Each structure stands twice: as structure tokens, then as C-alpha cells.
Amino acid sequence: MATFKNTTLQEISDVTTTAYTSTSDSTIILSILCANRNGISAADITVSQVDSLDTLESYLAYTVPVPADANLEILSNKYILPSGKRIRLVSSASGYLDATFSLVEV
């Protein structure tokens, strides 16, 4: 049975942080939206996929700028995340960015 979810990571750090770990056979990520809550400065976002041992497998976004008081759709197409894989986020400026994931756990 499919479960639809939204999950968020607020005030993304300048230290890489796990935002989501797939625990189902397949997770379908529908979108990743990143918002810059700082009204003055832009911040860069890096989004990566790692395995259960934190080994980098791919970048979904690499140092992509998010302008002040704006948002950016990081992932606008469906992305399959197998069980045990993780999505990690890091910002160039700690506390400026929030991310919202829309996904389906199958």
C-alpha cells in the first residue's frame, strides 16, 4: 500500500545532514522544494544520495544558489530512492534554507 508523505528539514546546516532515509522497498520522491528564509543573502544548496554506509552515490544538486526570499524546485520529476538509501543536504550558510520533500513510500 502506498503512503503519501511530506517531510521537512528546517534551517539546513553547513554540515551535511540526512534529510530522508528510505525504509520501504521503493520510495518515489515527487519533489524537493528549497526555500531561503533569509531576506538579505543567497545561499547554496547541495543535495546528494548516499548508501547505508554514507558512501556518495550521486548529486541531485551541487552548490545551486537559492536567492534571498525565494524558493527553488530541486527535483521536479519523480526520483526512485531504494530502501536504505539516504538523501543528504548541506547549505553554504547555516540556518538560511528549509527543504520540503513530497514523496510516496511503496
Mean pLDDT for back-to-back runs of 10 residues, the chain (106 residues): 92 96 92 96 98 96 98 93 96 98 94
Domain ranges of the chain: 15-92
* The pLDDT of residue 26: 86
How far is it, in rounded angstroms, from Cα 71 to Cα 27?
A: 24
Q: 6, exposed or middle or buried, with CB in 10 Å at 0-12, 13-18, 19+? A: exposed
Question: Can you spell out the DSSP letters for 85-101?
Answer: -EEEEEESSTTSEEEEE
Pick the CATH number of 15-92 from 1.10.287, 2.40.30, 3.40.50, 2.60.290: 2.60.290
Q: How big is the chain, counted in residues?
A: 106
Cell of 49: 544520495
**Distances, alpha carbon 67 to alpha carbons 24, 50, 105, in Å:** 34, 27, 31
pTM tops 0.85: yes
* The pLDDT of residue 27: 95
